[in-house]
């Protein structure tokens, strides 16, 4: 019997804004009986997010919290925080979640919020990472999973995966190569982080 048979899985929420392919990879990985995290909720800040239908098709609860319905960033985040607590969420995975989070929210979830970023941080923080890597004539590019802190894409790095940039690369071909790596790396990292949380619980 493994340690995860003895203790509850780590209740995890995924925050998305778009197509949700990383969310799908995480949900599918978490369907394995011995995976230490359970995806209890997917939240999108955009009603048009294609990931919501995908999460529902996979049997995961979804909640849309449209940031445009709130007067302030803080009130939007307070509602997210309320919904996360309501579902006893212990860990958050940002997966293509394209809203900047305020310091109060980040501090509240410090050490319990992960993000996937499409570059080899600290290179290319922010947007348009693939175009910028090609423009900079990088020969290697990739993705990073990191903890979320108060800066933009500055939190403690957990893992990275690299791809090579060929001379004929376009931002589309590079994005597809990197995304493929994200889909393997993120579930592996979530597994390690959740196992570590479970280990801490048993101490
Ligand atoms: C992914 O490439 C992810 O790394 C990136 O958005 C894409 C979401 O794809 N995230 C960021 O740029 C965050 N700064 P997905 O919705 O198909 O998972």
Nearest CA to ligand 1 atom 3: 96
How many residues are given for the chain? 203
Under DSSP, the state recorded for 118 is S
pLDDT at 1 over 50: no
Averaged confidence pLDDT in the chain: 96
Domain of residue 153: give its range.
Answer: 3-201
Q: Which of 16, 14, 19, 69 is CA-nearest to residue 37?
A: 14
Q: What percent of the chain has pLDDT over 90?
A: 95
Residues touching ligand 1 (Cβ under 6 Å) are 16, 18-22, 51, 95-96, 116-118, 143, 179, 182
pLDDT at residue 82 tops 50: yes
CATH number at residue 58: 3.40.50.170
Based on the structure, what is the number of domains in the chain? 1
Rg (CA), the chain: 17
Active site residue 117: yes
Q: Are 2 and 194 in contact (CB under 8 A)?
A: no
pLDDT of residue 87: 98
Per-residue pLDDT band at 5 (split at 50, 70, 90): low
Q: CB neighbours (10 Å) of residue 69?
A: 12
Query: What was the pLDDT predicted at 201?
Result: 87
pLDDT in the model for residue 7: 64
Question: Is a pLDDT exceeding 80 seen at residue 26?
Answer: yes
Say whether pLDDT at 120 is over 60: yes
Residues 6+ apart with CB under 8 A from 22: 95, 96, 116, 179, 182, 183, 186
Query: How high is the pLDDT of residue 6?
Result: 55
> In this structure, what token pair is assigned to residue 166?
């060929």
């Amino acid at each position: 019997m493994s340690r995860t048979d003895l203790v509850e899985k780590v209740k995890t929420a995924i925050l998305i804004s778009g197509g949700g392919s990383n969310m799908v990879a995480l949900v599918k990985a978490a369907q394995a009986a011995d995976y230490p995290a359970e995806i209890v909720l997917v939240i999108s800040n955009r009603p048009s997010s294609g990931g919501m239908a995908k999460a529902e098709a996979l049997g995961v609860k979804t909640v849309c919290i449209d940031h445009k319905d709130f007067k302030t960033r803080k009130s939007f985040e307070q509602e997210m925080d309320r919904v996360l607590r309501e579902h006893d969420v212990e860990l958050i995975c940002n997966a293509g979640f394209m809203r900047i989070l305020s310091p109060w929210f980040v501090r509240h979830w410090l050490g319990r919020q992960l993000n996937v970023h499409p570059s080899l941080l600290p290179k290319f923080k922010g947007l348009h990472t693939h175009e910028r890597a090609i423009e900079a004539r990088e020969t290697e590019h990739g993705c990073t999973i990191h903890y979320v802190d108060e800066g933009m894409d500055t939190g403690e790095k957990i893992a990275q995966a690299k791809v090579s940039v060929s001379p004929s690369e376009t931002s589309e071909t590079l994005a597809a190569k990197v995304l493929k790596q994200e889909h393997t790396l993120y579930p592996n990292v979530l597994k390690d982080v959740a196992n570590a949380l479970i280990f801490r619980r048993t101490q």
